[in-house]
A and B are shown apart, each in its own frame.
Chain A
Amino acid sequence: MILKMAIRNIFRNKRRSLVAALAISLGLTALIFVDAFQEGMIVNMVKSGTSTFMGEAQVHNSGFTNTMEVEKIIHDPLKIMDELSKEELVGSFTPRIKTLGMITSAGNVQSVLITGIDPQKEKALSKMDEALIEGEYLSDSSEKGIMIGQGLADILEVTVGDRLVITLAQAHTGEMAQEMMRVKGIFKLGTREFDRSMAFIPIERAGVMLGLEGAVHEIAVNFKDHKKTWDKNLPIWAKYSNNGNKFENWMLLMPEMDAMLSMSAYSKYIVGFILFLLVAGVIINTLFMSIYERMFEFGVIRAIGAKPFYTGALVVSESAVLAVMSTILGIISALLLNLIFSKVGIDYTGTEFMSVAMTELVYPVMTVEQYTSFPVSLIIFTMIVSIYPAWYAAKIKPAVAMKKGTK
């Protein structure tokens, strides 16, 4: 009977209930959509950050990433690459040599990160070839061509075909090595830092200049299934983390991105908390309006023998009915909104977040949690919030209520 009365009471003042239900469902819609968008944003940032150049995982000498010392080369790179080529999880990989150096043009000089790449393997893993805006991509591993970012080209005041002198310190001896190269291509990766401070030369030339023929500083790896790279417990990480080498996924390579993921989880709870507070206000207001309006009725119900618990339970039931109604509305509208945006996407391309240039549209990512734990939490929260008005209703003294609510 309580539930029956609660349902009918909610539909008694249709306009008020509808306004309250809309407000609550709007809160739930916003929560689900913001979460889906945030999930989509993270996936997009990770994809943009890894697919442009970095790769989803990398093998290094365990001391290399912190020091960038050119002597810290990967142990037994050929064996590693041979094994990687047989891995089920691995889609593609490419070796790189990395060193800091100077580039001098007729007009200027700039310190840069020089990366030696295997042009063909690099093409399969990164988007270097797609990022070219002028000139051509490197054709073989030994040519004397160089690819530089647009920002660097502007600083050095050079264009395709111009000559540059690369200066770097050789491994072991520290002797200066210089070589003249021609600008073969100019790229734009979209990240200011990348475009101003990176230069790419063939890996063999880089090895010769550093006195490290055949050596490798980095093996960038892409998995067949991107989602697998999120799993820190895969055995593959340990398998290649030995013999002085380490194999790390993007979370370890971009700790700032990992930190952002943790922060986004917190921000989800903060947004949820704020929205739930607003919902609490709406519910308390609606229930109290309803109680004051029906004061005489509550008095009568108590007068004819209902215990205080009964009137309290009636109020909690009404809030539960309102919450379920609102939740259904909220789920439907959030689903519609997410479906629409998962088709059309949200355009953040060209925007740079945390040194990652967004290269694709952001599509909201729907998760089971959004459509289960969020709505269930909202219903439970609504019922908890209704305890206060329920307590008020339970305390109603029949004689006083009937006097206050005299018709």
Chain B
Amino acid sequence: MDVIKVENVTRTYKTGEIEVHALRGVDLTITKGEFTAIAGPSGSGKTTLLNIIGGLDTPSGGDVLLGGKLISKMSGSELSNFRRDHVGFIFQSYNLIPVLTVAENIEFVMLLQDVDKKVRRQKVEEILGVIGLSGSADRLPSQLSGGQQQRVAVARAIVSEPDIILADEPTANLDSVTGSALLDMMRKLNEDKGITFIFSTHDKMIMERSKRLVMLHDGKIKSDEKR
């Protein structure tokens, strides 16, 4: 089953008089349960592609369909709802909300979804067990290590059971041991729960352990290898 369909997507940024072509006609289909890495050198368009798939950015041309819905034509408010209900994000620098505790950070998306308080608490408790941070519910992000924060970010991304998780260089700020453990955790979630993951990465470890590797170069797909 196709989760995402990217059809001939282009993205051009204007910086003064200069036009930068970040994506030059990308076609990509992601099916449910994939564990895909999008790799490529800096400036190749990885983050732009991820942003467009996640509805954070709109393409200059082409279409993006998620679960059959054309997201490239959605309004700002529709995109907010779409991201809230269908996409989980994991960012390079963890990007937890610093004033919220671990439990509150995980709960946040469900709160936006108007999920019942009892259900929220139950899910938070459950997911904290999955990421191995059961005793840290009331701690603030600043009281956690980088690896722990990124695990909370993963928990926040998966707790609302989105169709897809988009992770923008999730291991970039972690040491290799912590990065590997995090990757193990995400791989397990992918295998156990069938959650679809798409990574943009430089990390060889992610590239090696992904089920599919898409290489981007100058805004175009250079290779697409399924393993």
Chain A residues in the interface with B (C-beta under 8 A): 1, 4-5, 8-9, 12, 296-297, 300-308, 310, 398-399, 402, 407
Give chain B residues whose Cβ lies under 8 Å from the Cβ of A297: 95, 97-98
Q: How many Å from the CB of B184 to the closest CB on chain A? A: 24
Known: A304-B83, A307-B80. A5 touches B99 (CB 8 A): yes
Q: Which residues of A have CB within 8 Å of B77?
A: 307-308
CB < 8 Å: which of B93, B98, B104, B156 contacts A304? B156
A305, A402, A407: the one within 8 Å of B84 (CB): A305
When chains A and B are docked, how far (Å) is the Cα of A311 from the Cα of B100?
15
A8-B99, A300-B97, A305-B112 given; name 6 further pairs at CB < 8 Å.
A12-B98, A296-B93, A303-B83, A304-B89, A308-B77, A402-B91
B85: A residues at CB distance < 8 A: 305
Residue A305 contacts which of B51, B57, B81, B98 (CB distance < 8 angstroms)?
B81
Contacts of A398 in B (CB 8 A): 56
The answer to whether A303 touches B54 (Cβ under 8 A) is: yes
Q: How far is the CA of A4 from the CA of B85 in the complex (A)?
A: 23
Give the complex CA separation of A205 and B80 in angstroms. 95
**Chain A interface helix/strand/loop/mixed:** helix
Residues of B contacting A9 in the complex (Cβ-Cβ under 8 angstroms): 99
A-B contact pairs, 5 of them (CB 8 A): A300-B89, A303-B89, A304-B108, A307-B81, A308-B80
Cross-chain contact A5 with B56 (CB below 8 angstroms): no
Question: Bound state CA distance, A306 and B56, in angstroms?
Answer: 12
Q: Are B97 and A1 in contact (CB under 8 A)?
A: no
Which one of B51, B54, B95, B104 has the greatest number of beta carbons of chain A within 10 Å? B95
Chain B nearest Cβ from A328, distance in angstroms: 21
> Bound state CA distance, A398 and B50, in angstroms?
13
Q: How far is the CB of A42 from chain B (nearest CB, A)?
A: 48
| Chain A residue nearest in CB terms to B50 | A399
Give residues 91-139 of B contacting A (CB, 8 Å): 91, 93, 95, 97-100, 104, 108-109, 111-113
Contacts of B54 in A (CB 8 A): 303
- Inter-chain CA distance A302–B97, complex, in Å, is 12
CB distance from B127 to the nearest CB of A (A): 15
Chain A residues within 8 Å of B56, by CB: 303, 398-399, 402
Provided the pairs A302-B80, A304-B156, A308-B80 are in contact, do residues A407 and B112 lie with their beta carbons within 8 angstroms? no
B residues less than 8 Å from A305 (CB atoms): 80-81, 83-85, 109, 112-113
- CB of B76 closer than 8 Å to a CB of A: yes
Taking each of A300, A302, A304, A308, which has the highest tally of chain B beta carbons within 10 Å of its own beta carbon?
Answer: A304
> Given the complex of chains A and B, what is the CA–CA distance between A9 and B140 in angstroms?
13
For residue B56, which residue of chain A has the nearest CB? Answer: A399
| Cβ A12 vs Cβ B99 within 8 A | yes
Name the distance in Å between B93's Cβ and chain A's nearest Cβ: 4
Nearest A residue (CB) for B105: A304
Q: Are A407 and B93 in contact (CB under 8 A)?
A: yes
Say whether B111 contacts A304, CB under 8 Å: no
Tell whether, in the assembled complex, residue B111 and residue A399 are in contact, meaning their CB atoms are under 8 Å apart: no
| B50-92 vs A, Cβ < 8 Å mask (1 yes, 0 no) | 0100101100000000000000000011001101110011010
List the 7 shortest-distance A-B pairs measured between CB atoms, nearest first: A305-B84, A8-B99, A399-B57, A399-B56, A407-B93, A307-B80, A300-B95
Nearest opposing residue in chain A for B160, CB measure: A305
Q: How far is the CB of B52 from chain A (nearest CB, A)?
A: 9
Pick the contact of B111: A1, A296, A407 (CB < 8 A). A1
Cβ distance B49 to chain A, nearest Cβ, rounded Å: 12
Q: Determine the residue in chain B with the shortest Cβ distance to A296.
A: B95
CA distance A306 to B108 in the complex (A): 9
Q: How far is the CA of A4 from the CA of B100 in the complex (A)?
A: 9
Minimal beta-carbon separation of B167 from chain A (angstroms): 13
Q: How far apart sit A363 and B97, CA to CA, in the bound complex (Å)? A: 51
**Minimum CB distance partner of A302 in chain B:** B80
**B-side contacts of A310, CB under 8 Å:** 112
> Cβ of B104 and Cβ of A1 under 8 Å apart?
yes
Please, which residue of chain A has its CB at the minimum distance from the CB of B77? A307
Do B80 and A306 have beta carbons less than 8 Å apart?
yes
Q: Which of chain B's residues have a CB closer than 8 A to the CB of A307? A: 77, 80-81
Q: Which residues of A contact B109 (CB under 8 A)?
A: 304-305
Q: In whole angstroms, what is the CA distance A297 to B95 when docked? A: 7
A302 to B111, CA, bound (A): 14
CB neighbours (8 Å) of A12 from chain B are: 98-99
Residue of B nearest to A5 (CB): B99
Contact A301 to B104, CB < 8 A, known contacts A308-B76, A310-B112, A399-B51 = no
B89 CB contacts on chain A under 8 angstroms:
300, 303-304
Residues of chain A lying within 8 A (CB to CB) of residue B51 = 399
Residues A300 and B91 in contact in the complex (CB < 8 Å), given A1-B108, A5-B97, A308-B77: yes
Q: Please name all residues of chain B whose beta carbon is closer than 8 Å to the beta carbon of A300 when the two chains form the complex.
A: 89, 91, 95, 97
- How far, in angstroms, from A305 to B79 measured CA to CA in the complex? 8
> Nearest chain-A residue to B111 (Cβ)?
A1
A308 to B85, alpha carbons, bound, how many Å?
16
A303-B56, A304-B156, A307-B77 known; A5+B100 contact, CB < 8 A? yes
